Structure 1
């Protein structure tokens, strides 16, 4: 039954592919990228050729180096245009490399610009982009030929395209280069064969486009973002700032909770005990109002009990006591308390460090809470194991999907939490579900 449902869902996905926003955005990216790629390729290549030619001569060496510097700066500019297209049409967000700020005298600045790694990566992308963009325009021919062939019956009826003597009839256009053997329509009924070929071409067009755009996505991530070292430094700076802010917020919350909760209870406890002491009177004297004294002691006992409860809740927010027995038992407790049935599977040959266990526990708790509140799921699968030296926590549900970072689901806080230990958060949640969230953490913080 499940295989049948999965097959039907895949078939619906194939049939809907030409009408999705993603397909049209990728086609628009292919259309808009070629002119930019052509202009950038010509300008950067000409400047590099002039620079290289002048540099080999002693007379024009300085001028040649200036041409090379201008080429790298122009490569950065065109890279910025391609990043904008990738963000606007593909949703591919790549952080721009830091601006180059050379200092010192002229030759020192010239040397800094010549050593601009981000500029040279931008030049490489601009030069590689043109052949990629040409192939992307080829992907557009699948859309065009599909629409043309699909309209064959309408064109025959509207324009009366009849085969002339000695001619084969209305040709069926194909985007495949080796398509010389495509059928020709010699009658109105025959045009429906061309229409069927057009429909099949249109159904294939989004997948052809997506495959070619995937190559461009990889190039954008590899060449147009900051270098691996620069990205690593930026991530460390961000995670350090997040850790500091998180610690400061935790201390403020603890201070507020202690001031507004436990401290008030302890003050009331002290006052009740002080009043009870006054009711006792001098040593050896009988108690004047035993009932009043009993009420004061009961009040003091209540305040002490509530203060202990609040202190216990505060300590549980810092480090859940259920983790004392290990992460598997803690997750089993979470699963047992969930109002949505949870299938739990934990396989941890080695116990992670306490910091990693705490992060994994809070991530699981937040993800299960999101499932209960937002997904409408009827079943959840929670799996924890170790793969490739990483602790992986996966939460999968059969809900309505649509979960994204920043949509008020708490995923933004989880992303910040896992990044403090160089962890990652991967989300797969198409509209209609299912949703799968994977948290990857190092075993040691």
Structure 2
């Protein structure tokens, strides 16, 4: 008699859907690739053990020791890449000694990082055989048993498995129920085991607190050096613009007023023309002074905050700008100053280079961050490698532990997203 158990088919359908779910596939693929790589994990352990055992015998095993350490390093790098490709997990690498002396070479071969990588291969050998074997066993046995209700009618009478008569409907159904349980266990365990493995790899191969502190110190030194250079360039720009622009215009205003004063009694019409010219020169000088002081700390920022300060620069921008500000309270003065400077520089660049019809500024609080987003519909194609503008802004943002990301495909739009600590 042919069996058509609807509940079993529905359960098999649900299990199949779970198997095809993306997260489940990724978890199982990660664990199965770990099992497939287990022979690689074993190799440096075997080479190091063999080398250590043969070294006392006329130093025969000495060449195997550095070979084992280099192989462990190669496997560790491959494992970092594997996790990135499978799960998009980025693991910060520890700091590597970059010198070329024999001490530096020994440090790279047998230093703290090298021993961590060798220990990693030992741990992953045990983990791969244990966890990978467990998952494969659960899934293979579960799939086989789950198919027995369908295959039961085709089995010869008297067939048994582990003492259960699977040739009968009751026996096949019981075996199928056990198989579904094993499949469910394998699928359920895949997620926690994959996350545990990712955490284990990150802990053993990732940068530790000392590495992060050294990198942070190096980044701060580089940022400070670039900030000093940028400040010097800004000072030179202000001096040059004041000398060549506003100062010359103010001198022209003074001369025009002097000539108007001397002609006021004998030639009022000419004096009036000189006064009008001086007035126009004075307005041009004021505009140049505003251009010179762009990005500097205005009094409105100190007295009223970032929103009114941004409103003033938006009003002066020749490109129409939509401003959206939403903050329940004021951030720290340093965060306000950096956000104002970044917004001012970006609007200036948009007006000069973007050929944009409209721009948008959004500034708001996001948890403990001040977030600033500037968007324009211009030509795009902004490349930080071709100019110092974006690099200078990024250095200023990084100096207060903030982050700046840029998206500017050719043809636009250009989006600059800045996050700053609220209490920077």
- Return the TM-score normalized by structure 2: 0.60
Deviations 1:389-443 (A, max 9, x none): xxx326699xxxxxxxx999x999987555434x36699xxxxxxxx99755886
Give the Cα–Cα distance (whole angstroms) in 2 for the partners of residues 365 and 212 of structure 1.
Answer: 49
Give the Cα–Cα distance (whole angstroms) in 2 for the partners of residues 395 and 23 of structure 1.
Answer: 35
Q: Which moved more, 1:300-309 or 1:75-84?
A: 300-309
Q: Is the CA contact 1:396–1:437 (under 8 Å) kept in the aligned structure 2?
A: yes
Q: Quickly say closer, same or farther: Cα 1:318–1:277, change in 2 above 3 A.
A: closer
Q: Quickly say closer, same or farther: Cα 1:285–1:311, change in 2 above 3 A.
A: same
Give the Cα–Cα distance (whole angstroms) in 2 for the partners of residues 364 and 185 of structure 1.
Answer: 77
Q: 1:82 Cα deviation (Å)?
A: 1.1
- Partner in structure 1 of residue 288 of structure 2: 307
| Partner SS for 1:382 | strand
Larger Rg: 2
Q: Quickly say closer, same or farther: Cα 1:237–1:381, change in 2 above 3 A.
A: closer
Q: Is the CA contact 1:262–1:307 (under 8 Å) kept in the aligned structure 2?
A: no
- Partner in structure 2 of residue 103 of structure 1: 101
Q: Quickly say closer, same or farther: Cα 1:249–1:413, change in 2 above 3 A.
A: closer
For structure 2, the residue ranges without an aligned partner over 5 or more in a row are 1-16, 315-321, 346-357, 374-381, 406-416
341, 344, 351: which one aligns with 2:328: 344
Q: Quickly say closer, same or farther: Cα 1:289–1:425, change in 2 above 3 A.
A: closer
State how 1:182-201 maps to structure 2 within 5 Å. Answer: 186=169, 201=184
Q: Quickly say closer, same or farther: Cα 1:67–1:102, change in 2 above 3 A.
A: farther
- Partner in structure 2 of residue 233 of structure 1: 214
Q: Quickly say closer, same or farther: Cα 1:303–1:225, change in 2 above 3 A.
A: same
Q: Is the CA contact 1:94–1:224 (under 8 Å) kept in the aligned structure 2?
A: yes
- Partner in structure 2 of residue 29 of structure 1: 30
Q: 1:50 Cα deviation (Å)?
A: 2.6
Give the Cα–Cα distance (whole angstroms) in 2 for the partners of residues 87 and 249 of structure 1.
Answer: 36
360, 366, 369: which one aligns with 1:393: 369
Q: Quickly say closer, same or farther: Cα 1:437–1:197, change in 2 above 3 A.
A: farther
Give the Cα–Cα distance (whole angstroms) in 2 for the partners of residues 79 and 321 of structure 1.
Answer: 55
For structure 1, the residue ranges without an aligned partner over 5 or more in a row are 1-14, 172-179, 367-371, 385-391, 398-405, 428-435
Give the Cα–Cα distance (whole angstroms) in 2 for the partners of residues 209 and 290 of structure 1.
Answer: 90
1:330 matched to 2:309? The reply is no
- Partner in structure 1 of residue 365 of structure 2: 382
State how 1:395-414 maps to structure 2 within 5 Å. Answer: none
Q: Quickly say closer, same or farther: Cα 1:48–1:236, change in 2 above 3 A.
A: same
Q: 1:228 Cα deviation (Å)?
A: 3.9
Q: Quickly say closer, same or farther: Cα 1:290–1:343, change in 2 above 3 A.
A: closer
41, 60, 80: which one aligns with 2:77: 80
Deviations 1:127-163 (A, max 9, x none): 111233342564567777887789x59x94xx78457
- Partner in structure 2 of residue 44 of structure 1: 44
- Partner in structure 1 of residue 352 of structure 2: none
Q: 1:119 Cα deviation (Å)?
A: 0.7
- Partner in structure 1 of residue 114 of structure 2: 119
Q: Is the CA contact 1:273–1:296 (under 8 Å) kept in the aligned structure 2?
A: no
- Return the TM-score normalized by structure 1: 0.58
Q: Quickly say closer, same or farther: Cα 1:363–1:383, change in 2 above 3 A.
A: farther
Deviations 1:28-70 (A, max 9, x none): 33332323232222x2222332344345x4x54x445544333
Q: Which moved more, 1:243-252 or 1:213-222?
A: 243-252
Q: Is the CA contact 1:272–1:297 (under 8 Å) kept in the aligned structure 2?
A: yes
119, 123, 132: which one aligns with 2:127: 132
RMSD: 5.6
Give the Cα–Cα distance (whole angstroms) in 2 for the partners of residues 426 and 37 of structure 1.
Answer: 41
Q: Is the CA contact 1:342–1:381 (under 8 Å) kept in the aligned structure 2?
A: yes
- Partner in structure 2 of residue 420 of structure 1: 399
Q: How many residues align?
A: 359
Q: 1:112 Cα deviation (Å)?
A: 4.2
Q: Quickly say closer, same or farther: Cα 1:440–1:81, change in 2 above 3 A.
A: same
Give the Cα–Cα distance (whole angstroms) in 2 for the partners of residues 296 and 110 of structure 1.
Answer: 74
Q: Quickly say closer, same or farther: Cα 1:27–1:419, change in 2 above 3 A.
A: farther
Give the Cα–Cα distance (whole angstroms) in 2 for the partners of residues 359 and 373 of structure 1.
Answer: 20
